[in-house]
Amino acid sequence: MVNKNTFLLVFVLLSLSTLLVTAQQGKGILTTSGHNNIERASKSDGNVSIKIKNNGMNLDVHGQIKLSDDDKRITELSKDGKINYSIKNKRLEVFSDKNGKIVYRINGTETELLSASDEDLLAECIQILINQGIYGKERAIRIYNKKGIHAVLKETANFSSDYTKQIYLSELLRQDISNAHRSDVLNNIDQYVASDYYKAEIIGGVMDNALKDDHSFDAYLAVVSNMESAYYKQQTIQKLFTNKLNDKQFEKVIRITANINSDYHQAEVLSMLLKTNDLNSTKAKLTLENLAHINSDYHKAEVLKKMITSNKLDTEGWKQTIALTDIIQSDYHQAEVLKAIIKNMPANADLNTAVRGKAKNIKSNHHYGEIMRQLEN
């Protein structure tokens, strides 16, 4: 009979495993536990490291690897590289000699001529390498050049790993494909990739091209809108703000920020937007309207104060800003925003009257007095 301590130990181990996957995923490393154990790391110099243990199958890979055009041979392996593959009673080792020649060792014996069963063993190993994304960028380009976009998508659908799918889709979208094909791929990303992290990786590399075409831009934003993670929505949208958005693009971006299910992340997006774009009256109105989707008075106030201090508002923009202070329930935060408005707004009798009117909504005599004194100075 299993006691409570055993249950607790199992729970802790599973929890730690989950945390490890989450923490390492963004570093290009994936670790899982149980019967399937995969460790994967990629470096900018092209070196990869993979270790897999799965029901008696073991694979240990290190180095830079190139495959033949028919995916039947290892054509290049860095001099410090290695491929060790074993399953049941069969063992394959691949390495390069001092001259760079590929050497195969089957069950401990080096051989240049592979038998039919050796070919099968090598084919199994290569397929696992392909499934793990090895030589993926180069394969995606080769498949695209030979057979076109739909062949790459067909190959992508064969993989179970979002990590590998991301490699092929990212490389496909980097090619000189038509706007129609680009928007088609973007529109179907959700069918291929479940992970918001990898979706963000894919679309992050096509932003410049997406901004040049309305259909691609709409498809790009649809991917963002469908993300469940507030963090990755925020990060992806903020990358858009490294570009100057026209009024139409600005409106589309501001609309989808309302779908971010986090006051903090939504406020971060709006704050970034306010810092990056000069607001005309139309943009200011759209930004202010979006504040209604934030529940936190603190985050509402922070966004308003950034807009007040970062942008030149016209008279209509100031009136809209003053009117919107009604959505802040806290006397303290409402007073802070009104004081920021008084400090930054132009001299204007109508604006002064509007501020006085909103100040009357503040119940605290202390905060009300601060606002009145600042108006009089």
CA distance 244 to 242: 7
Start-to-end CA span in the chain (Å): 79
Helix (H) or strand (E) holding 202: helix 196-204
Q: Look up residue 95 and give its two tokens.
A: 């390495």
Domain boundaries 238-377, corresponding CATH code: 1.25.40
> Domains of the chain: which residue ranges?
43-131, 135-228, 238-377
Q: Is residue 327 exposed (0-12), middle (13-18) or buried (19+ Cβ within 10 Å)?
A: middle
The residue type found at 249 is: Q
Residue 33 is predicted with a pLDDT of 36
7, 1 Cβ separation under 8 angstroms: no
107, 91 Cβ separation under 8 angstroms: yes
List of E strands, the chain: 30-31, 36-42, 48-54, 57-63, 65-67, 74-77, 82-87, 90-96, 102-106, 109-111
Angstrom CA distances, 312 to 87, 212, 318, stand at 68, 28, 9
Residue 279 is predicted with a pLDDT of 66
Residue 224 is predicted with a pLDDT of 94
CA distance 359 to 337: 11
Angstrom CA distances, 315 to 42, 168, 284, 348, 375, stand at 54, 51, 11, 9, 17
Residue 68 is predicted with a pLDDT of 95
The residue type found at 341 is: I
User: pTM for this structure?
Assistant: 0.79
Q: Is residue 25 exposed (0-12), middle (13-18) or buried (19+ Cβ within 10 Å)?
A: middle
CA distance 141 to 352: 63
Along the chain (377 residues), what's the average pLDDT of each consecutive run of 10 residues? 44 38 40 58 77 91 94 92 93 91 93 92 96 95 96 96 96 93 92 95 87 89 94 90 82 90 93 72 78 93 87 81 92 96 93 94 94 91
Q: Which residue has the tokens 């190139």?
A: 66
Residue-wise DSSP of 123-179 = HHHHHHHHHTTTTHHHHHHHHHHHH-HHHHHHHHHT---HHHHHHHHHHHHHS---H
Residue 126 is predicted with a pLDDT of 96
